[in-house]
Structure 1
Amino acid sequence: MAVSKRLRYEILRRDNFACRYCGATAPDAPLRVDHVIPKALGGTDAPTNLVTACEPCNSGKTSSLPTGFSVGDVDQGSLRQAAALRRDAEQQSVTLFAHLYMVWKWAWGRTGQPVTDFDDIFFTDETHKVLACGLASQADLTEAAYRAGAQNATDISSYIGDVVRSSRRPASESTSRFLTCVEALAEWESEWDGARPDAVPNPDIPAAIQFINTVQTALAVGVQPAFLVTAATRAGRSLSATIDGYLTEANVAGGDA
Structure 2
Amino acid sequence: MEGGARRLHADRVDHRCRHILDRDDRGVARGFIDHDSCAREPGRGGGRSRSRRRGLERGAPTHAHPDRPRRRPAIDDGRGACERDRSGNAVARSGHAVWPRLRVILGHPDRSVPERFHVERADRDGVGAGLLAPGHDVAGGVGEGPVSRPEAGVTLIELLVAMALLSFVLVSVAQLNFALARRFYAVSGGAARDAVVAQQVNQFTAMPFDSLKSRAGTITVTKPPLPYTRKVMVDSLSPRLRRVTVVVTPLNTVFRPDTVVLQRTKPGNNPFNKP
State the structure with more CA Rg. 2
User: Normalising by the residue count of structure 1, what TM-score does the alignment of the two structures yield?
Assistant: 0.19
Q: Give the number of the structure whose residues are more often strand, by fraction.
A: 2
User: Normalising by the residue count of structure 2, what TM-score does the alignment of the two structures yield?
Assistant: 0.18
- Considering Cα pairs closer than 8 Å and 6+ residues apart, tell me whether 1 or 2 has the greater RCO: 1
